[in-house]
Amino acid sequence: MRKLHFIARMPDEPGALHKAAEIVRRYQGNISRIHYDHRIDPHTVFFEISVPSEEAQDKIKEDLHKIGYLQESLRPVGFLKFNVYLPNRPGALFEFLNYTTSAKANIAFLDFDEKGKHPDRLTVSLTIERTQPTCQLLNNLKSRYRIEILEYDTTGKHLDDTVFYLRFAQKLRDIIGPTEDKFLLKLLHDINHIVQELTNLGQEPKQVFESIILTGKTLKNTAGAGFYADIQRIEVTQNITLFCFQLPCGGNIFVFDGLEEMVMIDTGFGIYYPDVMEMFQKYGLGNLNKLKRIFITHADADHAGAAGFYEATSFLHQGTLEIIEKSNRAYRSKAEGCVLEEVYTKLINLFSRFTPPTRVRPFPNQVLGLRNIFPIIYRFQIGPLDFEVLESLGGHLYGQVFFFCPKHGLLFTGDSLLNFESLTEERRQFNLLAKVLMTSVNVDSETAARERQALIQIAKETEQTLAPSNKRCLICGGHGAVSVIEDGKLKPFGKIERYKRHS
C-alpha cells in the first residue's frame, strides 16, 4: 500500500466532507488519519490515506482536483474590507451579492443592522484569490453604490480565520524565506499532525500554532542586530581560560583558550554563527586556525546546530549522528513513535538553520569504567586537563554525553543539569515553547531525574575532594550560568557580563 497525504480545501457546507471521502472509497483508499477543526479553519481538512497503487493515487488526486478540493498551491490570498451603502428596499442585498458571486469572492464577514447608527450601511469582508476580478468587482460596485474601502491587502498578511492555514503559511514564509509550495504544504501536514495530537491532550490549537510561530520569530529576531550573549571567563590554569557564552535562546557555547589550541564544547544554533564569529573576535578568539576539536554533548539543534560551519573535527556519540540522520530527537528512546518529537525536530532545525557537523569522529563503542551510574567511554586531554566522557542513560535523549575533569573540577552536564534560576525571562520563555510543543524536553523523564541526581552527587563528591585546595566543582550546563552548589542549590560562579552586537 502507498501512502498519500493531501490537503482538501472545501466549502463549509453539508456533504462537502462526504464527497471527498467518497472519492477516496471509490479507488479503495483507506483513511489512516484525518483532521478537521472548524475552530481553526472551516474549509481545510488534512488527509493521510493508504492506496493500493500509483494509479489509484493519481485517480484520487485527479477527481479531487476536478471538484476543486485538492489544495496544490499556497498562492497569497487577498483581503478586502469595505462599507457599502445599500438602498432600503426588498432584494437590495440579493442584488449586491450577485456582484460578489460573479467575482468568485468568498465572504468572510457581513455586518448590518437597520436599528444601528447606520441603517443603510453594510460592512463586508472578502477573501480573494486573484486581483483582476477584484478590481473589476470594485469598479462595478463603485458605479452603483457608495463605497468606503476600509482595508485592502494583496499580501495575505491580514486574512481572517476563514483561511487560517493560508495565513499561517504566510507567517512561516516570513520566518524561513521563500520556499516552494510543495515543501510548505508538507510542512503544514506535519504541523497539523502535532496540533491534532496536542489538542487531544487538552491544549488549545491556536496556542500550539502561536508557539510554533513564536519559536521561529524569536530565533530570527535574536540573530543579527538583535543578538546578545551573557559571558563568563574563568581562569582554569595559568595558560587556559574557559569561556561560557550564553546565547539568546540558550544552547551555551564553551571555549577553552590555550596557548596553542582552542577547544569548543557545543556550538549553539546555526542561525547565530555569523554573530558568534563577530563576538569571538572581540574576546580574542577569532583565530579559528587554533580551533582543532569540537566536543558535542548531544544532537539538539542548540548544541550541534552550527558544527558544520567549522573546519575542526567534531567528537560525538554515535547516537548523536544517528539522531541527526533520522531528524528525530526521540530516536532510540521509548518516545520514538511520538510524532511530537519528530515534527519538533524538523521545525527547530528549519527555523535555526541547522548545519550539522561534516568532519566527525564518533566515540568508541567501549566501556572503560564507571563514574557513578555513567559508563566512561572515552578520555581526552586539553593541555594539562584530563577529561572523561560519560555516557548518559538516555534521559534527555539518546547519545547525550557528559565531560568531566575531576582534577580541576569541571563537569559539563549537557541538558541534564542546569541552573534554571540563572536564565533570563526571555530564555525561560523560549524554553517553555519547546515544552508546549513536546509536553516534555526529555524523552524519558524518569531516567532524566536519575541522571540529574547522579550528576549532583558527582559534583558534591568532587567538591569534597577539591576542598583542601580551595577549588570548586564548576557545573557547566547546556543552558544558564556556570554554577556551583551552595546550600543545595546552583549558584552562578564569578562575574557575568553582557555582550551586545557592536557594543
How confident is residue 169, by pLDDT bands cut at 50, 70 and 90? confident
Q: How many C-beta atoms surround the C-beta of residue 371 within 10 A? A: 19
Say which amino acid occupies 72.
Answer: E
- Eight-class DSSP state of 209: H
Q: Summarize the confidence of residues 144-148 as an average pLDDT.
A: 91
How confident is residue 497, by pLDDT bands cut at 50, 70 and 90? very high
Residue range 179-218, pLDDT digits in tens: 888 999 999 999 999 999 999 999 999 899 999 999 999 9
Q: Is 164 in contact with 191 (CB distance < 8 Å)?
A: no
Give the pLDDT of residue 190. 96
pTM: 0.86
- For residues 372 and 148, the model is more confident at 372
Residue range 108-134, pLDDT digits in tens: 788 887 777 788 899 988 877 666 677
Q: Summarize the confidence of residues 218-226 as an average pLDDT.
A: 97
Give the pLDDT of residue 311. 96
Give the pLDDT of residue 129. 65
- Eight-class DSSP state of 418: -
DSSP structure string for 291-341: EEEEE-S--SHHHHTTGGG--SEEEE-HHHHHHHHHT-TTTTSTTTT-HHH
Beta-carbon-side half-sphere exposure of residue 243 (alpha carbons within 13 Å): 25
Q: Average model confidence (pLDDT) for the chain?
A: 92
Residue range 285-308, pLDDT digits in tens: 999 999 999 999 999 999 999 999
**Statement: residue 155 has pLDDT above 70:** no
**Statement: residue 239 has pLDDT above 90:** yes
All domains in the chain, ordered by first residue:
2-66 (3.30.70.260), 78-153 (3.30.70.260), 224-499 (3.60.15.10)
